[in-house]
Each structure stands twice: as structure tokens, then as C-alpha cells.
Chain A
């Protein structure tokens, strides 16, 4: 169920909790946690950032994107190319975000005026097109890929990814409780009816898609720094787009907590299967997604929250005036 922009007190609490978790996670390299543990946390943050990026656009509007892996890939290439060209870190990261946003504008400006499936096809097509182009471009290293020419401290991409994941989660939480968020959900519910109420659907969709691409581009950039070598077939594998979609859908779309649940579950499942059946993890995740869609519909987090709410009761828009109360 939809939470409501009235329970404002819940927001600072949630943000404080998110910041505390993020701060703790970011401090792990200095707390003597094994590098294996750090890697797990890193990947959870990576998939969380990607999942929240997807959530911001597709979860909030219902326009399903298969291009978020490509945005991440573009961000990764942009940051590595910029750093290899002796740019400083901040401008290089900025370039990564801008490159991803420009890519989203190419898709969005052509397909977001239309409703429904046109956008999804445009994103799928774009994902394939990017891979094709990157393999041909002179400055992308072709099929052989690119290697970052400098050695960065390992904590840098780690901390960047956690900060990004936290920022994206907080952004979704705040949007979700704003009146703009409500209007976006109205648009998702019935676009024609929302437009008739004065909601500028095209502009909202385009703005969300750009913001979403920027986050995915930055996540890709941080991951590019983490991996330090980029192979086009890996960076632009459609798998990453599928994970960006599966993480919020399993955990719960259009919620801030859903992708957190989804990302932790996904990393856990992948890690367990790494030993038992390393080739099967996407299949298993697909199955899990199917089960969630069949039995929980809105995802794990909303289902759990719903069952708690049914027990506790409450959580509603309080009437400001006595005559409106029950």
C-alpha cells in the first residue's frame, strides 16, 4: 500500500537509519573486516544503487527500462576514458553522469511522449546498440576493452558506491513522501486521468529518466573504478539491466526499502550459488522474481509491511479537521 506524505516524522528517522547503516558500511575497511566481507557489502551497494536508479524511473512510473545496464556501462567507460585522459576525479565522475543523462535523453525524447511498450522496446534496442557502437569506436578500445591507467586506493570506489547507494535510497524515500511523488504514482496509475488533472506527464517522465540515468551512470563509474578494466561484453551484458530490474521488483517497487531488501537477497543468493551452481544464479533469481510476482505482487517489503500494518492498524492520512475524522 501507498504510504502517505503526512507521516513526516517517519522521514528523518528513516534517513537517520539509512545514514547510520551507510556510515557503518563505509567504515568497514578501517574496522578490520575481511576483504571478502567488504566485497559482499560493495556488491550489495552496487546493486542497490542500480536498483534504486531503476526504481526511480520504472518503479515510480511503470515504464519498464532495460537500459540501466547500458547507462552504467556508459558511466564506466566515460570515467575511465576521462581519467586516462588526465582529468581529475570529480570532473570525470561528472562526465560519467552527463554521458548517461545524454544517452537517456536519446531514448526518452523519442519514446517517452508515447505511452506503454514503446519505451521498453526503445531501451532494449538501445542496450544492444550501445554495445555495437562501443565495439567500433576508436577511443573505447574495441572488443578488447579499456584499462584504467592509474592505481586508486581500493577504499575509494568502495566508499563512493556506498555513498551513492545511500543517497539514491534517501532520494527515493523523500520523493515517495512528497506531493510530487504522489503525482508520479497517479501518473503510473492512469496517465490520461493524471494529465487531465494538470500533471505534465512527459516532463515528469523525462526528468525522472534523466535523474535515474545519472544515478546508474555514477554507479557504473564507481564500478568501473572498482573493476579497473572494462570489457564491452561484460560491461554491456544485458544481465546488469536485468539485475537492476530484479532487485526492486523482488524487494518492492516504488518503495525506498524494497531495493535494499532485493539487493541484499540478490547478493546472498548469488554468493550461495557461487559454490553450488555458479551458472544458475540468474535463473534462480528469475524464479524468485516469478514467485514474488505470483504470490506477493508488490514485492517482499510491502507484503511484510502490509502484514505488520494489519496487526498494528493505523498508518493513514490523519484528518486535519475534526469534521473529517472517523
Chain B
């Protein structure tokens, strides 16, 4: 059974079909890339999975449970964590407080929570900035902070919305390597614009165009897929 299975998802904004009849599945332990040109519906699909929007039609199952109509905070508690395309740190909190706020309070003592937050910051390389205000960090650091914050919820599925956007080549390569290393603790879906850099890191990829899935498969298949070459990689790889 896949970890996440969405079928026949439909979402309309005003007169635009942002997502029309999309089916995706995420297997446990995989890194799934989600690609497509601007306006393809990737972020809308993310928002449907995370619960920021409810679909007009279709069904989403997570670990066998129907979560189609669950509010976002319940999905987060079930183990779906996300980051945002434009970083959304809690700017007035310190870096470690940002992470601590995300540690589930059930069961764990405050002391354990603080320890977990510190070890995550260590993991993403932000321990030396732990007591600075989050608002004082650079974009590259904020991206890593968002990943640490999402990981603090102990997710089984991590949704990364353009994690590499706005980073220098060096930062992007570092973060991508870091994301690859996360597969041991959670499944990942990653929306990315930088296909060339991120596709090789994926186990599988889904390509969307105009609200629909046009290709799905291993990175090699995606690269050769005629629809993909036409719709997306063509302009990029030409």
C-alpha cells in the first residue's frame, strides 16, 4: 500500500482548473520529484495534500486513512509536514524556538523537546544561530530552518515546495544532498523548478502541465519522455 494515494483530484479557482483529475501516489521511503512549468498546478496539488485547500472532487488517502476533508493541522499531526515556496519563519521567535514550537507536545517533556530541537538544528547546521531571532537569518539559513521545523513534527511525509529557489548553486547543492539524506526518516515530495539539478536526486518523478499529470516514472524515463521534452525540458535543455 502506498503511503499517500490521491485520485481524481479536482480544484477550481474562479474560472481556472488549477488541478484537474490528478492522481499521484507516494511510496514509503521514496523521494518523489514534482515538476512542471509555472502554473502547472504543482503548488495547488501540494496545498490539497497538506490541507491548505480542500479539493472540489477526488480522494486523498494517507497510510490507508481517508484524509480528503481533514483540516491542515490534523494532517500535520498524522505526519504530513510541509515547507513553503516563500519561507514563512516565525520571525520574532528565536531559531530554536521556531523548531521547539513544532515539536509535538504530547508525551515528550519540555526537556526532551528542547533536546530534540537542538539536535535538529545541529542536523541542519544552524546550532550556532539557535538563539538569534529567526528574522535575522539569510534566505539559505531560513530554508534550512523550515526543513528543521517540518522535521520536528516527526513527519512520515515531507512536502518541500521549491526548497532550492533563491539559493546560490553551492547552497542548492548542499541542501539537495541534505534532502537526499532525509529519506531514511521520511518520504519526501519535492516541487522544484531546477529540474537539471534535482531530478537525479529523485527516485521517481511526476510532471504536470496545465493542471494534469503528463508523465510519471524514473528520472531516466522522465528525461526521455516526449511529452516532457515538449512541455518543459525542451525549453530548458535546448
Contact = CB atoms under 8 A, between A and B. Distances in A.
Whether chain B is bound by chain A comes out as yes
Nearest to A180: B105
Interface in A98-143: none
B145 to A, nearest CB: 11
Interface string B117-154: 01101100001101101000000000000000110110
Contacts, number: 119
B101 A2 contact: no
User: Which of B50, B97, B128, B150 has the largest number of chain A CB atoms within 10 A?
Assistant: B97
Interface stretch (A30-38, A52-60, A190-198): A190-198
A324 B84 contact: no
A167 to B, nearest CB: 23
Contacts of B104: 198
Given A179-B110, A317-B97, A324 B92 contact: no
B88 A319 contact: no
Interface residues of B, number: 45
B114 interface: yes
A147 B152 CA distance: 57
B115 A320 contact: yes
B178 interface: no
Interface residues of A, number: 32
Contacts of B119: 321, 324
Contacts of B100: 5, 179, 182, 317
A317 B73 CA distance: 27
A5 B96 CA distance: 11
Interface in B38-86: 50, 52, 71-74, 76-77, 81-82, 84
Interface of A: 1-2, 4-6, 179-180, 182-183, 185-186, 188-190, 192-201, 316-317, 319-321, 323-324, 326
Given A2-B93, A179-B100, 14 more contacts: A1-B92, A5-B114, A6-B114, A179-B105, A185-B90, A190-B90, A195-B72, A196-B73, A196-B76, A196-B82, A197-B102, A320-B118, A321-B118, A323-B127
15 contacts: A1-B92, A2-B94, A4-B97, A5-B100, A185-B90, A190-B88, A190-B89, A196-B76, A196-B82, A196-B84, A197-B101, A197-B150, A197-B153, A317-B100, A321-B118
